[in-house]
Structure 1
Amino acid sequence: MVQVQHRTEPHLQIQDIRTQIHAEMEHAYLSRWLPNPVLESLQLILASAMARAAGLSASERETLISTLMLIYHGLAMHDEIETLAAREDERYRQLGVLAGDYYSSKYYRLLAEAGLVPLVGTFARAIQTINEAKAELERDPLDFTMTPARYLELHTTIHGTLLHSLRTAFVSDQLHWDDTVTHLVRASILAKEWQRAPQIPVTRTMANLSVWQRANAEERKWWKQVVAGKSEDQNRLVSLHVKYGTSSTLFQQVEDEIGLVEHAVLLAGATECLEELRTVFDQLTEVRPIASRLGEEA
C-alpha cells in the first residue's frame, strides 16, 4: 500500500472535486470544439468513498480522484474517435485524439506535485490492461460467438481496473472494497446494457449475445442476414428479445450484483459505506417507462 501522511483538512465534497476535474479538462481551444464530458458518477463516487475510507487528506483525495477521472475520460474520449471522424470537418477527429491525450497526460503532473510518484507506474499498468481489453472487444465487433460472460468480463476490466488500482494502493486491508468495486462496476455495465433497446443494425451487446447463444438454427440464419445488412425486420428483432427474456434477465443480474455488494459491506460492518452507496443502487435500478423498451417484456 502507498504510504501517505494523514492530515485533518476541511471536508471535501464531490462537487468540489467535479469543479477541480473540469478545471483540469478546460482548454481554451479544445473546449470550443468539444465540450467537457459528463463525469462518470460511479467512478467518481467509488473513488471518493475509497479515498475517504483510507483516511486521506482533502488535498490527497482531490489529487487521486482527479487523476483517476482524467485518465478514465481520456481513454473514453479515444472511444469516440470513430463518431467524431464521421463529421464533415476533419478537425473533430483530430481534436478528439488530442483531447483524450490531454486529459490522460495530466496525471503525471498531478501525482508528481502530490508526491505520489509510485502511482504513476500503477496507473500506467492499469491503462495497459484496459487497452488490451478494448483491443479484444474491437477485434471483430460483428462476431456474436463471444460469450456474454466474456463480454462482461472485458467491460469489467475496462471500467474497473483504475478503481481496483486505487483500492489496492490505499484500502487493500479493507476487504469489502474488492467485492464492492467489482460488483458495482458489473451492475453499472449490466444496467447500461439493459437500457439499450434492440435496434437495427445490430451491434454486439449483452442482450444480443444472449439471444445468439439461445437462438435456434433458423433464428441464427436470420440473424446472420441482419448482420450482413440483408434484413431490416425490427419487429422480429424485438420479438426475439421478448422470447428469450433478455431485458428481465439483465435487470435481475443488476439486482443480484447489488445484492452481493450489500452482503459484502454488511459482513464487514461498514454500514456507513452502505448508506453512501444507496444513491448508486437507486440509479442503477431506476425503471424506465415500458414504452421506451420497444415492446420488451416487463
Structure 2
Amino acid sequence: MNYYRIPEMARKYIEYDMIQTHTELPQFPEFRTKLLYVFLSKHSTMSSYSELFSLVTALVQVGLDTHDMVSVTNQVKEMKAARSRQLKILAGDYFSSRFYYLLSHAGHIDLIRVISHAICEANRMKINMYQLMKQLKLTADDYVKRTVEIRTQLYLAFAGYMEESVNGAWPEILRLFTQCEVLLQEISSSETAQHFRESWGYWYVMQQANKDERKYLLSEEPDPSKIRSIWLKYKITWQLYQLLDASMRQLQDKLHSLDSKELSKELLSIGEPFIRYLSTPKVLEEI
C-alpha cells in the first residue's frame, strides 16, 4: 500500500483556529477512510484517484457528523454555547461543500451525483432512526445495526468503483469494521453519563429495566450517579466488550478468507487498534 496521508491532507480543510477555539468537531472517520483508500488502490485504473476520492468522502462524513452534533433545539442563551452551535452548522456546511469543489475541479462530475445520493440516503436513514427513538420503538440491536448502516452509506457508494476481484468483499468488510468502530465508541461513552440517551446502553436498559427504572430514564434531568448505578447493574460496559470481541473475531475470519493474502494483511493491520484494545489488562479483566 502506498503511503496513507488522508488525515494530513484533510487538516488544511478542517483545522481552523476559530472552529477549534469555539467548538468541538467529531472524530475523523479513520477506519472507513483508510479502508476506502486501500480498496480503491487495488483498482488498475482508479488507483490514481484513491487519495482524492478518500479525501472528499472523509470531508463529507466529517461535515455530516458535525451537523449531528448540533443540538436539536435552538434555545441556547449563553453566548459561548450559542457560538459553538452556530459554528458547528457553518463548519458542517463548509466541510461538505469541499467535495463539490474538489471533484468538480478534477472533472469527476458523476461522482458528485453518486455521493449526493448517498448523503440523501444517510439522512433518510437518520430520520427513520430518530422517529423510532422518539416512539421508543428502537432495540439495542437495531441501534447498532442502524448506526452502522448510516455510517457506511457514503463508503458503500463506491462499490461500482472497486476492482471486480474485491468488489464482493467490500460491503461486508466495511460493515464489520464500522461495527467495531461503533462498539468501541459505545464502550467509551458507557463510562460516562453524558449523552446517555444516545447510546446502546440506553436502549438495552429500556428493554430490560423494570417499570421504575424505565420511568427514571425517561425523566427530564436524571441524576448521573443514578444512571451510572443502573449501567453497572445491567453490566453495560462488559456486554459491549463482549460484542466488540465477537465482531472482531468475525472480521478476522472474513479477512483471513480473502483470496488476496496481500489485501488480507493490509486490512488486518488496519484492524490492529481493535485487537490491541481488547488485549489491554483492563479489558481482559472486564471480559
Whether these two folds match at TM > 0.5 is: yes
Hey, what does 1:77 align to over in structure 2? 66
Partner Cα distance (1:247, 1:29) in 2: 36
| Distance change in 2, residues 1:27/1:59 (3 Å) | farther
Structure 1: how far apart are the matches of 2:194 and 2:183?
20
The answer for the alignment partner of 2:150 in structure 1 is: 158
Paired amino acid for 1:48: Y
> What are the superposed Cα offsets for residues 16-74 of structure 1, whole Å, 9 maximum, x if unpaired?
x2232222346686566557765221122112111112245665112101110110011
Pick aligned residue for 1:183 from 176, 184, 189: 176
Task: Answer yes or no: is 1:222 the counterpart of 2:216.
Answer: no
Q: Say whether 1:254 aligns with 2:247.
A: no
Q: Which amino acid aligns with 1:71?
A: V
What does 1:1-80 correspond to in 2, within 5 Å? 12-15=2-5, 17-25=6-14, 33=22, 38-56=27-45, 59-80=48-69
* 1:136 pairs with one of 128, 145, 168: 128
Checking the alignment, whether the CA contact within 8 Å between 1:123 and 1:162 is kept in structure 2 is yes
Aligned residue for 1:265?
Answer: 255
> In the TM superposition, what is the alpha-carbon distance from 1:227 to its structure 2 partner?
2.2
Q: Structure 2 CA distance, aligned partners of 1:157 and 1:179?
A: 11
Contact 1:84 1:93 in 2 (8 A): no
Q: Which moved more, 1:95-104 or 1:70-79?
A: 95-104
Indicate how the Cα distance of structure 1 residues 12 and 246 shifts in structure 2: closer, same or farther if over 3 A, else same: same
- The separation in 1 between residues aligned to 2:30 and 2:281, in whole angstroms, is 23
Give the structure with the higher percent helix: 2
Measured after TM superposition, the shift of residue 121 of structure 1 is 1.3
Q: Which amino acid is 2:182 matched to?
A: I
1:88 matches 2:79: yes
d(CA) in 1 for partners of 2:107, 2:256: 35
Give the whole-Å Cα distance in 2 for the aligned partners of 1:108 and 1:233. 43
8 Å CA contact retained: 1:133, 1:158: yes
Please list every run of 5 or more consecutive structure 1 residues that lacks an aligned counterpart in the other structure.
1-10
Q: Tell me, yes or no, if the aligned pair for 1:245 and 1:297 is still in contact at 8 Å.
A: no
The equivalent of 1:192 in structure 2 is 185
Distance change >3 Å, CA 172–CA 254, structure 1 → 2 = farther
> For this pair of structures, how many residues does the alignment match?
279
Q: Separation in 2 of the partners of 1:269 and 1:202?
A: 42
Aligned CA distance change for structure 1 residues 272 and 222 (closer, same or farther; 3 Å): same
Letter in 2 for 1:205: S
C-alpha RMSD over aligned residues: 3.2
Is the contact between residue 26 and residue 36 of structure 1 (CA under 8 Å) also seen in structure 2?
Answer: no
The equivalent residue for 2:91 is 99
Shift in Å at residue 123 of structure 1? 0.5
Judge conservation of contact 2:32–2:174 (CA < 8 Å) in 1. Answer: no
1:172–1:151 distance in 2 versus 1, CA, 3 Å: farther
Give the secondary structure class of the aligned counterpart of 1:14.
coil
Q: Secondary structure at the match of 1:139?
A: helix
Match of 1:110 in 2: 102
Question: Contact (CA 8 Å) 2:63, 2:95: kept in 1 or not?
Answer: yes
CA apart distance, 1:114: 2.6
Tell me by how many angstroms 1:232 deviates.
2.5
Q: 2:203 is aligned with what amino acid?
A: L
Tell me if structure 1 keeps the 8 A contact 2:152–2:174.
yes
Q: What is the rounded CA distance, in whole Å, between the counterparts of 2:103 and 2:60 in structure 1?
A: 12
Question: Given the superposition, is the C-alpha separation of residues 142 and 107 from structure 1 closer, same or farther in structure 2, using an over 3 Å criterion?
Answer: same
- Alpha-carbon offset, residue 238 of structure 1: 3.9
Distance 1:96 1:243 in 2: 36
What is the CA-CA distance between 1:144 and the residue it aligns to?
A: 4.3
Partner SS, residue 271 of structure 2: helix
Aligned residue identity for 2:103: L
